[in-house]
Homo-oligomer: A and B are copies of this chain.
Amino acid sequence: MTAAESLESNCERAARAASSARPRLALLTPAERTDALRRIAASIRARSDAIVAASEASERESAAELSLAMLDRLRLTPQRVESMAVGVEQIAAQPDPIGRVVEGRTLPNGIRLEKRRVPIGVVLVIYEARPNVTSDAAALCLKSGNAVVLKGGKEAARINREVVAAIHEALAPLGLADAVRFVDTPDRRAVELLVKMRGVIDLAIPRGGPGLINAVCAAATIPVVKHDAGNCHVYIDEHLDALEDAAEKIVVNAKAQRPGVCNAAETLLVHQAVAPRVLPRIGAALAKAGVELRACPRAKPILASSNPRPATKDATEEDWKTEYLDLILAVRVVDSLEDACDHIRRFGSQHTEAIITSSLSAADRFTSLVDSASVMVNCSTRFADGGEYGLGAEIGISTDKLHARGPMGAEDLTTFQWVLHGSGQVRG
């Protein structure tokens, strides 16, 4: 067998094994699913030492090649392993999404019709070096009655192996070991093979940088729900009244509270009527937060009067498109709310946008015209998050429009089944 054949059979074996667990999964009760998750949490705790040791070994091996941020993600202390276990228990405690009747009625011919939530089937989760995704994704998929194929990043392979061993220790006595399968290969082509398994895998959820997302979209013949990047905007409207302080606070929070995440703001749009009044103080606040600006020709002279004055460069069209994920913010003065919405439609990524306004009509127009997963009225873009929305743990934040949009919880890992109960009816 060549290496390519062996990779292919490795992927195929994992996917088919996961699929073979489906009849068993289909007959579990909610209590049995909850019990399986609690056992996984216990098993992760029991293996804590081995998981921490694997993390330390990974760190030693990779110290030379990896960034500090990446090394930090790989570092699992006993406390972090405990959080993984608690995360699984929290998912266990969430309401069970399966069997929920979304609609139902009796048809004129006496047939009782129900539209019920059912598992999707086999879910493929592709992620990079975050070992907690291994336990979270397995738990969310089991919670929603799905089998899961996990494809993690190679840097975390040693840790993932230990976490998966803990999961299997918990699931094997329940006859469910195949429900969680891990594709253990550093070969990136595995992803391309897996996303072509129509008829075996029902959904791919890639979480990661543009390289991974584009590779998945180009290769996939199975449905994909992407956890992609966010080029988020804050727009300050002409109707501001008593919201000047709030505007400043929200812009600084949206940009600087955690600049490396997808719901951080990347561009500030300011209505020309209020720009001379609010931009200088926002510029000063951003300067204090260490934020550099990329300003349009109308914003630049206004920002020059900020005290302290933020480091400012001229914005190019490239800046409007850029997700900095850093302490950099593009700033543009616009003529109207409609122009702000045009800018967002043209350059945005439909993730999250905020408007600061005292006008109800402006808030409504902005919400209608901006086609984004989340729209914030007078609050920070940073709230776009499954935990903040009360959804519990999330498998990702969908930047797609189909099936799931925005933070994606266990319920988004279900589909529907129409069930009709009759007593011999035939169609006339």
Contacts and interface: CB of A to CB of B under 8 A. Distances in A.
B118 A417 contact: no
A56 interface: no
A181 to B, nearest CB: 19
Contact of A402 (B120, B253, B257, B405): B120
A257 B27 CA distance: 34
B421 A384 contact: no
Interface in A188-202: 202
A422 interface: yes
Contacts of A400: 223
Nearest to A28: B368
A424 B243 contact: yes
Contacts of A245: 424
Interface residues of A, number: 71
A371 B375 CA distance: 36
Nearest to A245: B424
A374 B418 contact: yes
Nearest to A145: B368
Given A113-B389, A377-B422, A427 B221 contact: no
A253 B373 CA distance: 45
Interface in A370-428: 371-380, 382-384, 388-390, 400-403, 405-407, 415-427
Interface string A207-232: 00000000001100101010000000
Contact of A341 (B23, B105, B363, B426): B23
Given A105-B390, A375-B418, A417-B374, A249 B367 contact: no
A373 B26 contact: no
A223 B221 contact: no
A334 interface: no
Given A365-B27, A402-B403, A418-B406, A423 B107 contact: no
B389 A418 contact: yes
Interface in A314-346: 338, 341, 345
A130 interface: no
Q: Please give the count of copies of this chain that the complex contains.
A: 2
Given A107-B390, A111-B379, A223-B400, A369 B425 contact: no
A286 interface: no
Given A384-B418, A402-B223, A415-B402, A371 B424 contact: no
A373 B418 CA distance: 6
Contacts of A418: 373-375, 384, 389, 405-407
B379 A121 contact: no
B111 A425 contact: no
A159 interface: no
A111 B419 contact: no
Contacts of A405: 415-418
A277 B250 CA distance: 75
B111 A424 contact: no
A382 B427 contact: yes
A284 interface: no
A426 to B, nearest CB: 4
Contacts of A422: 376-379, 383
Interface in A135-187: none
A203 interface: yes
A246 interface: yes
Contacts of A253: 426-427
A33 interface: no
A239 interface: no
B420 A376 contact: yes
A16 interface: no
Query: For A105, A252, A377, which residue has the most chain B Cβ atoms within 10 angstroms?
Result: A377
Given A253-B427, A257-B427, A376-B422, 6 more contacts: A27-B365, A223-B401, A374-B420, A379-B421, A379-B423, A380-B426
